[in-house]
A and B are shown apart, each in its own frame.
Chain A
Amino acid sequence: MLIRSRTALFVSIITLWLGSTALAQEALSGELSVYLNAYYDPANAPETAELMRQIAAEYEALHPDVTIKLVDSLPATQDLETFLAARMAAGQSPDIMWQQFSTRNLRGSSWWVPLNPYFDRPNPYIAEGTPGHEKWSDSLPGFVLAQTRAADGNWYQASLDWVETGLFYNKTMLDEAGIDPESWTSWGDFVGDMQSLRETTGVDPLGMFMKQQGWSNWWWADDIFLTVAWADQAESFYMGKYNDAERPWRQLAAEEIAKAILDEKLVATDARMDDYLRMSKEFVSLFPIDYAGIPSADELDPLFFGEQVATVWTGTWKSKLYANSVPFEYGVTYLPPITAADTPHAQGTAYRVGGPSSAGQYGIAQSAAENGKLDLAVDFLMFLSAPQNFGRLAASYAGFIPMVAGAETGEVMGGFQEIAELPERLFTDPDGRLTLEAGDAWSQAMQAYFLGEADEEATKTRLQEIWLSGANDLCQQQGYEWCPN
């Protein structure tokens, strides 16, 4: 009796010791439902979907007791949001699920499993010698990890790919107007050229739009102008806990923005914001007349294709469509460097507006953990993120740039290399700065300013209110130790 229990104890100790490594791997079994957005969308990207089926089959071959159930992609609209809200409320989400990373602060661990402990583990599917083999997170670049970290310090998603953005322009039209994007050395050059383009051709220079709720490509411009206004203050906003020796210049975390606001270092009524407002308004004056009524980026395509706008600022996900269907010669350029002559605090550069708002941002639903599928979900996510697998998928879809070390970038980067060399923007999109609501309120305040319903002073006052209430909301949600009571 005694001996037997001792043996049992011994066995269980051994099992525990091995548990996190070899034995756990062999024990994987069950069905895992996986939603991969564009990487599994049989109706719209059949070849990529077929490849994904093959990758899933390879995984099943390694783990014979596992079934991977791929869930067809839905349009990323209100339908998907409602679908997810209901599924999450009832604990019925796909086990591995895509969601726009900007919701990470709001949904956090009420929907998603924090991935931090797993990011520290070795990824057995990454070959020895490739970053990530010993520590999974090493396979992702530091700036991606920093930008996708939630306000509570956790990672809820593995963001495996990236959207780069650029200004696609109608080459013929610019040539005819005598405009060369290469010649832009300052904001002033750019605005001058764009205004003369409208005068000579009658065409709207910038294919941009602005929504009062949610993303519009105007957000990208807002990021840049806000960055320009505060770039020289970045040092004083940075908090030690987010610093990274390899990246002295980096994007602000939500916590840093909130603290800077509450410490009264970042103030919207500051004189710096005058230039922010002025440049924003100059930029918006180059948009089509109904910029505030265009409901989606897709609706810019008829304008660009139909030669009603000379340029459109969009991302790599459009590369394929444009290459196949634009009926004229086009090129990809970017906003000019913004110099001290344009505005006193400028650093003489433009900022790269790219991000992980792409198809490869996957989290593990809390319900997967409740149903005992956490180990399996983590293991499959590790498998999927290994360069030999995710690299193939990204190359096949060719809409996003894979971020995992060892994966080939492929043709999708054509025309974007120079843009990718630019520094990051200090501020991310309005919805990621503090809270989603503060982001939408920001859009509405700026819309009121552009449409002439609020003057400069009133707008600055309103923006400051939004910052304060957003910072306080974030404090209330996250309970940072420095927060005022």
Chain B
Amino acid sequence: MTTRARDEYTHPGVRRKRLAPAYVPYLFLLPALALLVWFRYTPAFSAVYHSFTDWNGSPGANFVGLEQYRALLQDDIFLQSLRNIFIYTLARTVLSTVMALLGAELIYNLRSFRAGAFWRMVFTVPLVIPATVIFLVWQRIYAGRLGLLNEVLEAVGLSGWVQPWIGQTDTALLALIMIGFPLVTGVAFLVLLAALQNLPSSIGEAALLDGCSGLRRVFAIDLPSIRGPLALVVILGVNAGLQEFAPMLIVTGGGGPINATQSPGLYLYQQAITYGKYGYATAIGTVLMLLTLAFSWFILRSRYRGAHDVAV
């Protein structure tokens, strides 16, 4: 049942015969590729090239081979930042995907079409708040004195739980992970909801006939059917997580305390912009890119396993 549903509805792009000339798909791709070569690949190659130099941001740089990478492996702060970002990315991706899926499923399961449109709008609008404002508000939610979280804890009689959430090493990273809770709103929510609403309604009806409903249906039918978008959401989550630096820079004052929230993205930023060590920074960036690639690879593979039928 599930296998058939997936094959028929999720990846129905099976074509029996190609009628178009071979160059047609390249024409479709050309404009996007041209723009990317111009404004992404060229500067990216320049960045990777500079990771083998001692570039300091001014014209001229000396080739130093793998020196920057060697230094990186011996840099305790960088290694700590890797540890932090793995925890952050894992927790944040799981949390935000689950919450986005929850929001999307709640809306998808509404009978009323209007209510669905209304809630979609409700959860889209908060996206307009710039991240800087979110950080400002959340940093005040976590503040030790006058912070909303601590005030609420006091008010409900949990004053034993009151603590400096972002001022101590054991809770600072957790605090960053929870920023923006409930995390329904966002890219993941939009993608998953669109995917669910794009499913042919026959799937839901067939499931109903088979007596498959509620949570069972979510796991048995919905999730396998939206595997592609789900993989996208997870990749984007992993990708954004591994590169994250803004909350560490703004909310925890540059990755503190004592590097408890230091991240490779922030460390890259500090080395490049604050200390003017672009060569070192580009080496961090290259390692970060390779890591992201490695992580995404597993997710991509699962995506391709489900999508092999496209490439008949």
Contact = CB atoms under 8 A, between A and B. Distances in A.
Interface of A: 78, 81-82, 85, 88-89, 106-107, 110-111, 204, 211-214, 216, 288-296, 299, 302-303, 306, 308-309, 436-437, 440, 444, 447-448, 451, 453
Contacts of B272: 85
9 contacts: A85-B273, A212-B253, A213-B270, A290-B165, A291-B167, A292-B167, A296-B253, A303-B145, A453-B258
Given A81-B273, A107-B276, A212 B168 contact: no
A291 B145 CA distance: 10
A194 B283 CA distance: 48
Given A289-B145, A289-B164, A309-B145, 19 more contacts: A85-B272, A211-B254, A212-B253, A213-B253, A213-B270, A214-B274, A288-B144, A291-B167, A293-B142, A293-B143, A293-B164, A293-B167, A293-B168, A293-B256, A294-B143, A295-B252, A299-B140, A299-B143, A453-B169
Contact of B167 (A213, A214, A289): A289
Given A78-B249, A85-B272, A453-B169, A292 B256 contact: yes
A81 B57 contact: no
A437 B168 CA distance: 22
B167 A211 contact: no
A288 B145 contact: yes
B275 A295 contact: no
Contacts of B257: 212, 292-293, 447, 451
Contact of A293 (B172, B249, B255, B273): B172
Given A106-B275, A444-B259, A212 B254 contact: yes
Interface residues of B, number: 37
B251 interface: yes
Contacts of A89: 57-58
A437 B270 CA distance: 10
Interface of B: 56-58, 139-140, 142-147, 163-169, 172, 249-259, 269-270, 272-276
Contacts of A81: 273-274
A216 B252 CA distance: 13
Name which of B142, B251, B270 has the most chain A CB atoms within 10 A of its CB.
B270
Contact of A302 (B146, B168, B250, B273): B146
A290 B255 contact: no
Given A88-B57, A110-B58, A214-B254, A308 B146 contact: yes
CB-CB nearest 10 A-B residue pairs:
A290-B144, A293-B167, A213-B254, A290-B164, A290-B167, A212-B256, A293-B166, A211-B253, A292-B257, A292-B167
A204 B145 CA distance: 10
Contacts of B269: 78
Contact of A292 (B139, B164, B250): B164
Contacts of A309: 145
A160 to B, nearest CB: 25
A88 B250 CA distance: 24
B165 to A, nearest CB: 7
Contacts of B146: 302-303, 306, 308
